[in-house]
Each structure stands twice: as C-alpha cells, then as structure tokens.
C-alpha cells in the first residue's frame, strides 16, 4: 500500500555540545554518502542542504510509505555510528568529548530532538533554502554561498550538479 508523499521538511541536526565533529571532509562525506543511499533507495528526495562543522541543515521529502521518524532515526543512527568509527581511528581525543553516561550508549554524536519543520508553501521553501545557503557566508567561510562545497547553493545558483542526489524543489 502506497501512502501519499509527505510535505518537504526543513531538518536540522546538531552535533552534541556543538562540537566540530563534521570538520573533517571524511565526516562530511559520511553525510553525503548516506543521503545518496537514501535517495537511491527511494526513501527521500533532497531539495537542499548545507553541512557545517557542527551541524547540518537540509530540506528533504520522505517518499512512499516511509515514516519521517523512521528515516530520520536511521539517518542519525547510521551517520552517528560512522562518525564515531572515523573519530575512533583518527581523532580519539575529540571522540572522548562525546562520551556520555547513558545506559544505551557510550558516545552521543548528535544532540537529541533534531529540529524538523514541514514546509507548506513555496515562499517558505525559498526562505529556508536561502537560510541554509547563507550559513557558510554568515560563518565567514566563503563570500558567496555557491563557493561552499558542502551545500546545494551552487546547484540552485549556477546549475552545477556536484551531488547527483539533489532534486530541484520545483521538479
């Protein structure tokens, strides 16, 4: 049974304690590869994103009969585990800062209760995309949004297809 597709969602995941866990390119690539996998498996459409050093924003749309909570949980669990494995090998001191006293885990990569807001209009979609794309500019990383590699800004501004998993929100 196919259920109707859900509205696109503005989603923010923040690294626990605002640690710069996504600073290394390899950790950003974990996010990229996970999004690519979810698109390939037709669980989501990605309409926009930015990966910063300590958080990520994206606009995604859950497809088919998949539930937002399940996709979000699986995405955060998988990327959290992969980032933990990477840090165990390459930056154990940083990983130690993620240690928590919890019964169900030793480390907490993502803050709990990620932000998730449905987008019901094109005006809000454009506003959220602009907000996402201006993150690296506001952080002083680039002068123009499209110059930041780990973002969909160049896709929208220059029609560059750096990431095969991206879909235009008008498509």
In whole angstroms, what is the distance from residue 135 CA to residue 167 CA? 20
Phi then psi for 123, rounded to 5 degrees? -60, -45
Residue 4 lies in a domain: no
pTM, 2 dp: 0.94
Instruction: Specify whether the CB–CB gap between 58 and 46 falls below 8 A.
Output: yes
Q: Using pLDDT thresholds of 50, 70 and 90, give the confidence band for residue 25.
A: very high
Q: Using pLDDT thresholds of 50, 70 and 90, give the confidence band for residue 5.
A: low
Res 101: pLDDT? 82
Range of the domain at 101: 9-157
The domain total for the chain is 1
CATH number reported for the structural domain that contains residue 69 in this entry:
3.30.70.1290
């Amino acid at each position: 049974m196919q259920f109707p597709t859900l509205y696109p969602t503005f989603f923010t995941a923040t690294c626990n304690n605002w640690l710069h866990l996504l600073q290394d390119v390899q950790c950003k690539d974990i996010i990229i590869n996970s999004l690519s996998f979810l698109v390939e498996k037709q669980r989501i459409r990605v309409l926009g994103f930015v990966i910063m050093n300590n958080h990520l924003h994206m606009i995604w749309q859950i497809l088919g009969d998949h539930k937002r909570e399940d996709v979000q949980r699986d995405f955060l669990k998988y990327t959290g585990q992969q980032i933990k494995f990477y840090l165990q090998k390459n930056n154990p001191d940083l990983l130690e800062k993620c240690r928590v006293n919890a019964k169900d885990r030793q480390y907490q990569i993502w803050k709990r209760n990620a932000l998730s807001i449905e987008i019901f209009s094109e005006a809000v979609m454009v506003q959220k995309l602009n907000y996402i794309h201006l993150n690296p500019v506001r952080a002083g990383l680039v002068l123009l949004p499209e110059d930041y590699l780990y973002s969909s800004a160049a896709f929208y501004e220059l029609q560059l297809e750096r990431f095969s998993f991206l879909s235009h929100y008008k498509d």
